[in-house]
Chains A and B, each alone.
Chain A
Amino acid sequence: SSELTQDPAVSVALGQTVRITCQGDSLRTYYASWYQQKPGQAPELVIYRNNNRPSGIPDRFSGSTSGNTASLTITGAQAEDEADYYCNSRDTSGDRGVFGGGTRLTVL
C-alpha cells in the first residue's frame, strides 16, 4: 500500500479552481512534487520542492503544504488540464521514493 494517499478522482468546471491533495506522514519532513500524466504519455513534473514550478509550466498550477498534507491547486482549470496527477516524496525512512495512488482530474 502507498504511504501517500490521494483521492482517486476529482472534477472541476471549466475555468474554476480545483485542489488535489496528498496525505502522508513523510510530508512533514520531506518535500512534495507533483506530476501530470496524460494518456499514452510519460509523466511531467508540474511542481517540485512543494511549491516551485519548472519553466514552461503555466502559473495556474501552484503547490502548498500544511502538516502532513501537500496540495496541488489549479486556478482557472483548462480543458487541457484533464489528466492523472501524482504526488511524490520520500518514504518515512527518507531513503526511498514513494508516489501517491494518483488522482484523475476531469474538467467539465
Chain B
Amino acid sequence: EMQLVESGGALVQPGGSLRFSCAASGFTLGGSWMSWVRQAPGKGLEWVANINQDGSDKYYADSVKGRFTISRDNAKNSLFLQMNSLRVEDTAVYYCTRERRGTYSYYGLDVWGQGTTVTVSS
C-alpha cells in the first residue's frame, strides 16, 4: 500500500521557522514529482509547491515564494518543506502528495498523506 506520512507540525510565533518531513512507503519517491498542498481552517485547498524527481525543478505559489523551500532526499524516500518567516495566514494543515503524470502532462495528485498542522500565533 502506498503511503505518505508527514511530521513536524507545531505552534510557532510569527516570523519563526519550521520544517516538515514526509516519509513515503509502498513506492519509490524518487520516481515521482511531489507536491505540498495546504488547507487553512475552514477553507479550501491551496497548492503550495512542487518538485521534480531529481530536485532540479521547483515551483512555488506566489503566497510562499521566497519564504518556503521544497526539497527531497530520494535515498531516504523523503520530502521536505522548510518554512521561514511564517505568517499568521500560513496556519493550515499541510499535505504531502504524489503527482501522477504522463510523459509530458500532469494528471492529478494520487497519493495524499494525513496532513500535519502548523499554527502561527503569538
Q: Which residues of A contact B (CB under 8 A)?
A: 2, 30-31, 33, 35, 37, 42-45, 47-49, 52, 54, 84, 86, 88-90, 95-102
| Interface SS of chain B | strand
For window 58-73 of B, CB contacts with A under 8 Å fall at 59-61
One digit per residue, 1 when the CB lies within 8 angstroms of any chain A CB and 0 when it does not, for chain B 32-55 equals: 000101000000111100100000
List chain B residues, Cβ under 8 A from A98. Answer: 47
Q: How many residues of B contact A (CB 8 A)?
A: 23
| Interface SS of chain A | strand
A86 contacts B112, CB within 8 Å?
no
List chain A residues, Cβ under 8 A from B45. Answer: 35, 37, 43, 86, 88, 99, 102
B112 contacts A44, CB within 8 Å?
yes
List chain B residues, Cβ under 8 A from A52. Answer: 107
Q: Which residues of B contact A (CB under 8 A)?
A: 35, 37, 44-47, 50, 59-61, 95, 100, 102, 105-110, 112-115
B44 contacts A96, CB within 8 Å?
no
Closest CB of chain A to B112's CB: distance in Å? Answer: 5
Of A31, A42, A102, which one neighbours B115 at CB under 8 angstroms? A42
